[in-house]
């Protein structure tokens, strides 16, 4: 069975076409760096990190490109509020964003490309659009894309802003625009704002949408495999990207597959910097693990809305404890001196796991297959032979790696180990009241002991 992915443009599932030697070219919209990244951003980037890792696990090569919007109206506005320089603010927030990605183990991006490093390419694309008659100038303002010059404008989102009052966010406002939905390609210099010299366009800075297409064209050419991003960017951002790229190159389609991941919401509202209802990645990590955020995110379908709550984070932590307990048991079984003979067939699990992911990356189903496996193995774990135990351990680790989840077994302090040994001796000599007292003492120190047919296991509570 081949990998099927839902393409938002055709509204159909598509098979990812084989590109045997070439890498799959994946572009995902990066952050606009004017504030700390929140767990909404993390949702999108955790998902696409998993996606890139999954493609690699299928033996495919991947070139994962992500832009960083480090010059934009939002950055300039925030810098003014903070009485700082927009370029410095963007640099700082880029640094924090990349730190957060590293902390979360998001490490599959091949190249992060900051817009300010690609001004020449941006200028070239705007000039091309002007030459071909797709752009016009508004004096003392900037160069605009004329959406009426591209009859296919709206083909991705079904919107053009002409009749949709709610959809004009981040479409630049200007009284002299030809059409309400026209967006700015190049903004002419304003006092106290960053600008780059340009003889043809006039000194100024790029509009938001053109940054992405200039960067993707620079690395991938005018046509490539997959473009991803959050659903909030479908209109106007991705619609504008198609218009710019297809008009500038004269080639269509710009990409084979458009992937849109759902929003992370709080009380039903999109988590966003502008609504000020956000939980930064750093704040999340003060109370929870990076593993729990990844499990929480991937336990919901990437195209669905994910309403975040503290309870969800706690549930994810509890599920991780189940996994850790299971791996601790496997470890004990592996090191047991008694030989067992029963074998365990992993094939039904492998098949279920693979088919779930091949079916438009159904991670919740794949994760639920992992927990079913744990359940099934738990029923017979103490009777399994060494090779089965080792296979289960390896397979599980492999699958969790794909989700960016790595489980480290608890390091048990010496005093706890000592108490646990004493408890076992008391229990073996049937001194249950005293052994129970020791169990309570261990619990008060934050650990729990569990008896199994192969000895006791100790876990952090
Ligand atoms: P921005 O910094 O707003 O330009 O967003 C950068 C990336 O994060 C885009 O792909 C957005 O779609 C995504 N993003 C922003 N907010 C959320 C959210 N609440 N849930 C999921 N993805 C988000």
For the CA of 278, the nearest atom of ligand 1: 19
The residue extents of the domains of the chain are: 16-296, 320-402, 414-460
Q: What are the angstrom distances between the C-alpha of 63 and each of 22, 26, 110, 248, 298?
A: 9, 6, 6, 23, 22
For 391, the token pair is 């296979």
The ligand 1 atom at the shortest distance from the C-alpha of residue 270 is 19
- Distance (angstroms) between ligand 1 centre and the Cα of 262 equals 9
Quickly name the fold that domain 16-296 has.
Rossmann fold (3.40.50)
In this predicted structure, what is the pLDDT of residue 227? 98
Question: Can you tell me the distance from the alpha carbon of 261 to that of 41, in angstroms, rounded to the nearest whole number?
Answer: 11
User: What integer pLDDT is reported at residue 174 of this predicted model?
Assistant: 74
Q: What's the number of CA atoms in the CB half-sphere (13 Å) around residue 183? A: 27
What's the Cα-to-Cα distance from 246 to each of 17, 21, 103, 129, 326, rounded to whole Å?
A: 21, 26, 37, 10, 52
Q: Which residue puts its alpha carbon closest to atom 5 of ligand 1? A: 31
Q: So what's the pLDDT on residue 22?
A: 84
- Residues touching ligand 1 (Cβ under 6 Å) are 29, 31-32, 40-41, 43-44, 229-230, 232-233, 263-264, 270-272
3-state secondary structure of 345: coil
Q: Tell me, what's the pLDDT at 164?
A: 46
Closest atom of ligand 1 relative to the 228 alpha carbon: 10
Q: Report the alpha-carbon distance of residue 344 to residue 392 in Å, rounded.
A: 8
Pocket test for ligand 1, best of 33, 36, 40, 208 (most atoms within 8 A of CB): 40
The predicted structure's pLDDT at residue 261: 98
Dist. CA 71 → ligand 1 center (Å): 17
Structure confidence at residue 172 (pLDDT): 72
Instruction: State the distance from the centre of ligand 1 to the C-alpha of 146, rounded, in angstroms.
Output: 27
CA 230–ligand 1 middle distance (angstroms): 6
Segment 220-235, tens digit of pLDDT: 999 999 999 999 999 9
CA distance 183 to 164: 15
Ligand 1 midpoint to CA 41 (Å): 5
4 forms beta bridges with 15, 359
Cα gap 187→204, rounded to integer Å: 5
DSSP assignment letter at 32: B
Q: 48: CA distance to ligand 1 center in Å?
A: 12
The pLDDT value given to residue 175:
75
Residue minimizing CA distance to atom 8 of ligand 1: 41
Per-residue confidence in pLDDT tens, the chain, 461 aa? 689 999 999 999 999 876 655 899 999 999 999 999 999 999 999 999 999 999 999 999 999 999 999 999 999 999 999 999 999 999 999 999 999 999 999 999 999 999 999 999 999 999 999 999 999 999 999 999 999 999 999 999 998 775 544 444 566 777 789 998 999 999 999 999 999 999 999 999 999 999 999 999 999 999 999 999 999 999 999 999 999 999 999 999 999 999 999 999 999 999 998 788 999 999 999 999 999 999 999 999 999 999 999 999 999 999 999 999 999 999 999 999 889 999 999 999 999 999 999 999 999 999 999 999 999 999 999 999 999 999 999 999 999 999 999 999 989 999 999 999 999 999 999 999 999 999 999 999 999 999 999 999 999 98
CATH architecture, range 320-402: Up-down Bundle (1.20)
Instruction: Report d(CA 399, CA 402) in Å as an integer.
Output: 5
Q: From the CA of 280, how far away is ligand 1's center (Å)? A: 13
Q: At what angle do helices 386-402 and 310-334 cross, to 10 degrees?
A: 150
pLDDT at 16: 85
- Which of the listed residues 26, 41, 97, 169 should we mutate to test ligand 1's pocket, taking the one with most ligand atoms within 8 A of CB? 41
Do 320-402 and 16-296 fall under one CATH topology?
Answer: no
pLDDT tens digit sequence for 379-391: 999 999 999 999 9
Helix (H) or strand (E) holding 339: none
Calculate how far, in angstroms, residue 440's C-alpha sits from the geometric centre of ligand 1.
47
With H, G, I as helix, E, B as strand and everything else as coil, classify residue 137.
Answer: strand
């Amino acid at each position: 069975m081949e990998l099927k992915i839902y393409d938002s443009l055709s509204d159909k599932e598509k098979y990812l076409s084989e590109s045997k030697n070439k890498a799959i070219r994946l572009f995902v919209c990066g952050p606009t760096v004017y504030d700390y990244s929140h767990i909404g951003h993390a949702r999108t980037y955790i998902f696409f990190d998993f996606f890139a890792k999954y493609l690699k696990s299928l033996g495919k090569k991947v070139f994962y490109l992500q832009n960083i919007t480090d010059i934009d109206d939002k950055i300039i506005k925030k810098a003014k509020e903070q009485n700082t320089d927009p370029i410095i603010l963007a640099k700082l927030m880029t640094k924090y964003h990349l730190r957060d990605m590293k902390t979360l183990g998001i490490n599959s991006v091949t190249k992060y490309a900051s817009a300010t490093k690609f001004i020449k390419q941006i200028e070239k694309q705007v000039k091309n659009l002007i030459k071909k008659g797709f752009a016009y100038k508004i004096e003392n303002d900037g160069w605009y894309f004329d959406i009426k010059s591209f009859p296919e404008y709206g083909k991705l989102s079904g919107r053009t802003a002409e009749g949709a009052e709610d959809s004009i966010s981040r479409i630049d406002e200007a009284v002299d625009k030809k059409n309400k939905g026209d967006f700015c390609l190049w903004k002419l210099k304003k006092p106290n704002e960053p600008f780059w010299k340009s003889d043809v366009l006039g000194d100024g800075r790029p509009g938001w949408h053109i940054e992405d297409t200039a960067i993707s064209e620079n690395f991938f050419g005018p046509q490539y495999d997959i473009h991803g991003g959050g659903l909030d960017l479908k209109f106007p951002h991705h619609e504008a990207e198609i218009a710019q790229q297809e008009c500038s190159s004269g080639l269509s389609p710009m990409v084979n597959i458009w992937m849109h991941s759902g929003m992370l919401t709080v009380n039903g509202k999109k988590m966003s910097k502008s609504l000020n209802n956000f939980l930064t990645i750093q704040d999340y990590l003060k109370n929870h693990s990076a593993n729990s955020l990844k499990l929480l995110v991937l336990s919901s379908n990437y195209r669905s809305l994910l309403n975040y709550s503290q309870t969800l984070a706690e549930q994810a932590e509890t599920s991780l404890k189940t996994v850790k307990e299971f791996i601790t048991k496997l470890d004990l079984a592996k090191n047991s001196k008694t030989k067992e003979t029963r074998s365990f067939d992993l094939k039904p699990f492998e098949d279920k796991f693979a088919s779930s992911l091949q079916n438009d990356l159904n991670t919740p189903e794949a994760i639920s297959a992992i927990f079913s496996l744990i359940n099934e193995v738990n029923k017979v774990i103490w009777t399994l032979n060494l090779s089965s135990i080792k296979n289960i351990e390896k397979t599980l680790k492999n699958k969790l790696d794909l989700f960016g989840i790595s489980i480290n077994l608890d390091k048990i302090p010496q005093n706890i180990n000592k108490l646990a040994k004493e408890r076992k001796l008391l229990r073996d000599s049937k001194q249950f009241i005293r052994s129970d007292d020791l169990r309570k003492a261990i619990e008060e120190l934050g650990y729990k002991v569990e008896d199994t047919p192969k000895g006791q296991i100790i876990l952090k509570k």
